[in-house]
Chain A
Amino acid sequence: MTTVTQILLGAAAAFVLVSLVALYRVVSGPTMPDRVVAVNVVGSNTVIVIALLAAALGEAVALDIALVYALLNFLLSIAISKFTVERGGVL
């Protein structure tokens, strides 16, 4: 295992731990937008973890998965904030 692989795997593990911390806000957010923001942060961390694992294990195909996950993450935030406002037009 090369040094770069070790660094990338360690960073991915740290991002997973940080996501677990952010998951507390998903569970206990007092309002709905709090939960959406926390889910967005967890999703961004997931994209980063997928990209770091793709770089560490040499699986270039996983980068496509990370791109699609980033798109879905963005779409989730926009859709939820759009549908919770009656008139629409949050952007």
Chain B
Amino acid sequence: MTPREVAVLVLALGGVFFALVAAVGLIRLPDIYTRTHAASKSETLGAVLALSAAVVAFDSGITTVKAALLVAFMFLTNPTAAHAIARAADDQGIAPWTTEDEE
């Protein structure tokens, strides 16, 4: 395998792994705030890794720049969107999940 193939393989595998972590967190965690935690961080890292694989795979100039722009855009917007949703949930009065019962 050439170094480029190894780089694409490692980046794609890392992206798939972190997307899987995000999906597991989205399914298993107990409330909206913990779910946004899983969805924002893991999903952003998975997106950046997988899009970096696409950046390495492209070989011509302007498409590489476009894919790199996509990486930067995902890196900025994904946590921002998760933060906005979590804050909207807090403003709606959705209570955070706790372990003790306080009635």
Q: Which residues in A have some Cβ–Cβ distance to B below 8 Å?
A: 3-4, 7-8, 10-11, 14-15, 18-19, 21-22, 24-25, 31-34, 36-38, 40-41, 44-45, 47-48, 51-52, 54-56, 60, 63-64, 66-67, 70-71, 73-74, 77-78, 80-82, 84-85, 87, 90-91
Label chain A's interface by main secondary structure. Answer: helix
Which 9 pairs show the lowest CB-CB distances between chains A and B? A81-B88, A77-B81, A11-B12, A55-B54, A33-B89, A74-B77, A55-B57, A60-B63, A81-B84
Q: List 21 A-B pairs, Cβ < 8 Å.
A: A4-B57, A7-B5, A8-B54, A11-B12, A14-B19, A15-B16, A18-B19, A21-B23, A22-B27, A25-B27, A33-B92, A37-B36, A40-B39, A48-B50, A51-B67, A52-B53, A60-B60, A67-B70, A70-B77, A81-B88, A90-B91
CA distance A57 to B45 in the complex (A): 24
Given A48-B47, A70-B73, A70-B77, A7:B9 Cβ within 8 A: yes
Tell me the dominant secondary structure on chain B's binding face.
Answer: helix
Q: Which of B53, B62, B78 contacts A44 (CB 8 A)?
A: B78
14 extra A-B contacts, CB within 8 A, seeds A7-B9, A51-B67, A52-B53 = A4-B5, A11-B13, A18-B19, A22-B23, A37-B26, A37-B32, A38-B35, A40-B85, A47-B70, A55-B54, A55-B57, A60-B63, A70-B70, A90-B88
